Amino acid sequence: MSSSRDTRILVLNSGSSSVKYQLLDMSDSSRLAVGLVERIGEETSRLKHTHVESDTTREWSGPIRDHEAALKAVAEELAKDGLGLDSPELAAIGHRVVHGGQTFTAPTVVDDAVLAEIERLIPVAPLHNPANLTGIRTAQTLRPDLPQVAVFDTAFHTTMPESAARYAIDTATADAHRVRRYGFHGTSHAYVSRATAKLLGKAPEDVNVIVLHLGNGASASAVRGGRCVDTSMGLTPLEGLVMGTRSGDLDPAVIFHLARVGGMSIDEIDTLLNKKSGLIGLCGDNDMREIRRRVDEGDEEAQLAFDIYIHRLKKYIGAYYAVLGRVDAVAFTAGVGENASPVREAAVAGLEELGLAVDSELNAVRSDRPRLISPEYARVAVAVIPTDEELEIATQTYALVGRNTHQ
Ligand code: ADP
């Protein structure tokens, strides 16, 4: 047993009404348990827990009052599998924190000052940081002696130059309200850009990659030699690509127009752009599987939604090609990027002059492994890289605390 001492990391992703978790053993990066608590605060909360080694899943439904009750329930499930939070093998708990502002450029061991700073950032991440904070505080009460590490969604993007990070608005106003482009999905962009370099058999420092994280939320990033130089999400996750329910880029005057002419309130416009736009706003569906099914049946509304989605994606590929100057690879990841071959094919179609092409046969292969889908002659590699944000959070957490526990 001593060989695996202090090598376990619990990863917690605390949302406003859910907690996702994974327990990993970093001696071989394997998963020991994975699970999810949903609908926290409702009568019909649900817990689903899987013990990986025995391949057993337990599901449970009933009222879970708050995050503290949720984490206690998780701790009980882990203990049933002999993986309790009191185990000396647990080295740390890694927390996904959405917004680290300009302060947090790397994973950080949590102390009171760190908690205060995450709290100070709530105005720029009102939906996410409060839940992330609750998760950390609750975990602290369960294991006060254990390092809690915050891993920020924004951290990977803090290397963006000011020319990419600043909006062209009055500087004093921007600074007073911390208005700038922060970017999100950073853990995924970091993981995928590194995994792409590995797939090419190169060091991350030697590779320029355009990463396309296409899930329900979607973002693109331009990564030069392992460092992010631009990304499509901005002050909030609303900017950039067309997403499942978010509009992505639009003329900001659309908002004034909807308020002045359409009589809508700021909150109504916020909901419209974040929850009722993007694919769902365009065609009533935000699941790419359903949209493709409708396209295949000749549905024009679904076709137009798909075309708008692809047009925006292609514009970002072109823009980041120009930002990087030289591109070694374009990497597709997340639910749509990993699974929707028509999206990959359409996004790259017509870009042969840029050295980009997709091999239809390779593109059609279904696999959960990193793989190339470009033909051998293509100058730029096109890759599909399954993202693994939990492993990345665990890796970063372990790198930070592993040193101390292995002296
Ligand atoms: P989230 O942003 O919620 O983490 P995911 O990365 O899990 O999202 O992506 C979810 C989306 O992936 C779904 O809404 C759906 O559009 C898309 N998706 C999942 N599986 C497939 C598939 N087999 N084919 C096409 N699209 C898929």
Amino acid residing at 55: D
Contact between residue 138 and residue 68 where contact means Cβ atoms under 8 Å apart: yes
333 CA → ligand 1 middle, Å: 10
Question: Which residue out of 6, 25, 153, 388 is catalytically annotated?
Answer: 153
Q: Give pLDDT, residue 3.
A: 41
Q: Name residue, tokens 């309130």.
A: 265
Q: What are the residues whose beta carbons fall under 8 Å from the beta carbon of 209, sequence distance 6 or more?
A: 192, 193, 196, 197, 223, 327, 328, 329, 330, 331
CA distances from 12 to 94, 207, 257 (A): 6, 31, 41
Task: Supply the pTM of this predicted model.
Answer: 0.94
| Average pLDDT by stretches of 10, the chain with 407 residues | 70 91 96 95 94 94 92 94 92 96 95 96 88 93 94 97 98 96 97 98 98 97 98 96 97 98 98 97 97 98 98 98 98 97 98 97 96 96 96 96 59
Would you give the DSSP letter of residue 235? S
pLDDT of the residue at 267: 96
Per-residue pLDDT, 125: 86
Phi-psi region of 183 (alpha: psi -120 to 50; beta: other; left: phi over 0): left
Atom index in ligand 1 nearest the CA of residue 214 equals 6
CA distance 303 to 185: 28
Domains and CATH numbers, the chain: 8-152 (3.30.420.40), 202-389 (3.30.420.40)
With 0-12 / 13-18 / 19 or more C-beta atoms within 10 angstroms meaning exposed / middle / buried, residue 59 is: exposed
Q: If you write DSSP's letter for every residue of 105-170 in order, what string do you get?
A: SS-EE--HHHHHHHHHTGGG-TTTHHHHHHHHHHHHHH-TTS-EEEEETTGGGGGS-HHHH--SS-
Q: How far is the CA of 87 from the centre of ligand 1 (A)?
A: 35
Q: Could you tell me the two tokens for 294?
A: 């409708």
Q: Answer yes or no: is 289 a known binding residue.
A: yes
Q: Is ligand 1 within 6 A of the CB of residue 103?
A: no
Instruction: Please indicate whether residue 35, judged by its CB atom, sits closer than 6 Å to ligand 1.
Output: no
Structure tokens at 379: 């100058």
Ligand 1 in reach of 373 Cβ (< 6 A):
no
With contact defined as beta carbons under 8 Å apart, do 104 and 155 qualify?
A: yes
335 marked ligand binding residue = yes
Told to judge if 153 belongs to the known catalytic residues of this protein, a careful annotator would answer: yes
CB 216 near ligand 1, within 6 Å: yes
Instruction: Quote the pLDDT of residue 128.
Output: 87
The pLDDT value recorded for residue 407 is: 40
**Best substitution site from 98, 216, 219, 274 to test ligand 1's pocket, by max atoms within 8 Å of Cβ?**
216
What's residue 406's pLDDT? Answer: 45
Report the separation in Å between the CA atom of 119 and the middle of ligand 1, taken as the mean of its atom positions: 31
Residue type, 31: R
CA distances from 24 to 11, 28, 193, 283 (A): 8, 9, 22, 40
Alpha-carbon torsion, ordered 186, 192, 197, 200, to 10 deg:
-160
